[in-house]
Amino acid sequence: MSLKDKTLFITGGSRGIGLAIAVRAAQDGANVAIAAKTAEPHAKLEGTIYSAAEAIEKAGGKALPLLCDLRDESQLAAAVEQTVSRFGGIDILVNNASAISLTGTLATDMKRYDLMNSINTRGTYMAGRHCIPHLKKAANPHILTLSPPLDMRAKWFAPHVAYSIAKYGMSLCTLGWAQEFAREGIAANSLWPRTAIATAAIRLIGGDALMKKSRKPEIMADAAHAILCKPAREFTGHFCIDDVVLWESGMRDFSGYAAVPGTPESELMEDFFVPADTPKLG
């Protein structure tokens, strides 16, 4: 199981889960293109495309930092072409970029609605549309989208319908692409965490209290790695939960992923959109 010499195109990978996936792939010796819009340090969010590239190179991979606003098709198209020019193709697309606002209908203006849907749903669709022609030429092509299982209960929509629409739109891309491109052997899967993940976004939402109830981004990176190493023709159309993927790969101890060492599993906060029928582990 290795991603050595594979080329990954990751949207929004300058920090958090996207960066963790990039670094895990780099440990195998992968080529990683980071397409994100953070070129200068942000006051509240750590990481830029350049610091991400440094981390990738340090981990053993080859990096290509690409300044790209996912809402701009010309920028995305140019980023894809630069990746192909630099590395000779694209083997894996990771749709990681996402915007979040956990607000109700009357508190979510159209500017915020448009931002979430432009980055989440439209950005995912557009990245797929530009990368799929190159994925068709790859030996074991994968699309991995960081979006939830399609559990259509009202409880997941009522508190923040605009955000939920934007995230479920990403999942609908997975559902459609898995069948649309099955003959070409392109796998399309989604990955979602069982618990909150300790990222800058989580800190902004819940502060240190929520961070202490979270797991590290590395659990998502290890689960992503397990998925991306599977034969594409044999594993597609799945909506995966991070620890279930790792459990099925043979892992039994998840304590090392706790953001605060020693935190009992029972004290971790379950993430949004986790279906009630998700297997309980242990």
Q: Which residues are catalytic?
A: 163
- The alpha-carbon radius of gyration of the chain (Å, integer) is 18
Comparing CA positions, the residue from 194, 106, 121 lying closest to residue 158 is 106
DSSP-assigned letters across all residues of 184-241: TT-EEEEEE-SB-B-SHHHHHHHHHHHHTT-B-THHHHHHHHHHHTS-TTTS-S-EEE
Q: Are 64 and 78 in contact (CB under 8 A)?
A: no
**Strand-pair partners of 241:** 192
Residues in the chain: 282
Between the alpha carbon of residue 210 and those of residues 65, 95, 214, the distances in Å are: 31, 25, 7
